[in-house]
Homo-oligomer: A and B are copies of this chain.
Amino acid sequence: MALIVHKYGGTSMGSSERIRNVAKRVAKWARAGHQMVVVPSAMSGETNRLLALAKELAPAQQGEDYGRELDALAATGEQASSALLAIALQAEGMPSVSYAGWQVPIKTNSAYTKARIESIDDARIRTDLAAGKVVIVTGFQGVDASGNITTLGRGGSDTSAVAVAAAMKAEECLIYTDVDGVYTTDPRVVPEARRLHTVSFEEMLEMASLGSKVLQIRSVEFAGKYKVKLRVLSSFTPWDINITEEAASGTLITFEEDEQMEQAIVSGIAFNRDEAKISVLGVPDKPGIAYQILGAVADANVEVDMIIQNISKDGKTDFSFTVNRNDYAKTIDLLKAKVLPVLGASEVQGDTKICKVSIVGIGMRSHVGIASKMFRSLSEEGINIQMISTSEIKTSVVIDEKYMELAVRALHKAFDLEQAPV
């Protein structure tokens, strides 16, 4: 008997029929003797429906101005799906109770629409588990110190699930989704993409941060920090599949490198077109400019991804970075209004028609020439590289977004990802 956390995505909760299947699956695990905590997302489409209504009312909404109310609004989706799952479990004869974020409570900071979890009180959950109940905790949301509802950002239910698993020292956290695991790249782009049986925590972290949508990046960070055993698997296998078989399916995110890992040099190709590029040109090259530019951006609660500073020429340099496209207009305005005049830079430029493509693999650590193989492969396809960023286990490039699929296919082939490693 173990304490297990299940997380179900929006598609898995997408109709009463699917919610009933989730209930039957969870009940199966509970009846096998496990203590079950379940974190459901909102029913698919619900969060978008709610935020679309908000957009109709405040077309020009800019981030945090409406943040408190947007969070109170969006949090209702998970509250509803959690209550529905509790009802479905009870209808299956399985005692169950659902808790909104504030009821647990899951305490967060006050950064509306992208709050961070600070603490989880598991007392109420443990009492219910001890009483034989399945406990359902709403994903995606929490409550700040002043009792305001907060949300954790898109995909935040993954983070909720991992945080609950960490707080309760759960044996394993199973992330049920509409795909059956983590792939070498998106099979919609590369049909030959292959499911990985295991992936290292560090690779998963890179893949998530680089645009692989299987898991929210912060859930992976959380899992790494608290060593939560994480598995991504499909909610579309029959609910009454043998439980041992189910527990071994999907992709396991591992922490021990000496486990039987697939020793590919490159494990996968990640990509996204959620970002936009911003360049500040003609910046006087003196200490503190990075802080002057990015400090102002951070103060506006905009997350920056890639950052590149070119070499200096005539005492001037160019400074480029990428942000989420949703933050693009706001960031450009901010730089023009507050940073350019102070900095004495000549110009701000931007481009939203870009994408980022990355190769990821722990094997890269001990192999030279991987990055240059990537660049050669892109060059052979006639694709121009606009920005490059590297870390120990990944190399990312920014290219024109129209070449994204071409680049991903070329790289998948160049690194032989359609073949299982020997």
Contact = CB atoms under 8 A, between A and B. Distances in A.
Interface of A: 16, 19-20, 23, 50, 53-54, 56-61, 65-66, 68-70, 72-73, 75-77, 79-80, 82-84, 86-88, 90-91, 96-98, 100, 102-103, 147-149
Number of copies: 2
Contacts of A96: 69
Contacts of A100: 72, 149
Given A69-B97, A72-B98, 6 more contacts: A19-B57, A54-B84, A57-B91, A72-B83, A73-B84, A73-B87
B88 A79 contact: no
19 contacts: A19-B57, A20-B57, A23-B57, A54-B87, A57-B84, A57-B87, A57-B88, A57-B91, A58-B91, A59-B91, A66-B87, A68-B97, A69-B96, A69-B97, A72-B83, A73-B83, A76-B79, A76-B80, A103-B148
A102 B147 CA distance: 9
B102 A87 contact: no
Given A72-B98, A97-B68, A50 B88 contact: no
A302 to B, nearest CB: 21
A16 B76 contact: no
A98 B76 CA distance: 14
A19 B58 CA distance: 11
A80 to B, nearest CB: 5
Contacts of A82: 72
Contacts of A58: 87-88, 90-91
A16 B56 contact: yes
Contacts of A20: 57
A57 B103 contact: no
A97 B65 CA distance: 12
A70 B97 CA distance: 11
Contacts of A102: 102
Contacts of A54: 83-84, 87
A162 to B, nearest CB: 23
B86 A69 contact: yes
A100 B149 CA distance: 9
A84 B74 CA distance: 10
Contact of A16 (B57, B66, B80, B84): B57
A87 B57 CA distance: 7
Contacts of A56: 16
A40 to B, nearest CB: 13
Given A57-B20, A58-B91, A103-B147, A79 B72 contact: yes
Nearest to A149: B100
A58 to B, nearest CB: 4
A26 B222 CA distance: 44
In the A-B complex, the 7 residue pairs with the closest CB atoms: A73-B83, A16-B56, A76-B76, A58-B91, A72-B83, A57-B88, A69-B86
Which of A19, A58, A61, A66 has the most B CB atoms < 10 Å from its CB? A58
Nearest to A104: B147
B76 A90 contact: no
Which of A53, A69, A73 has the most B CB atoms < 10 Å from its CB? A69
A59 B88 CA distance: 10
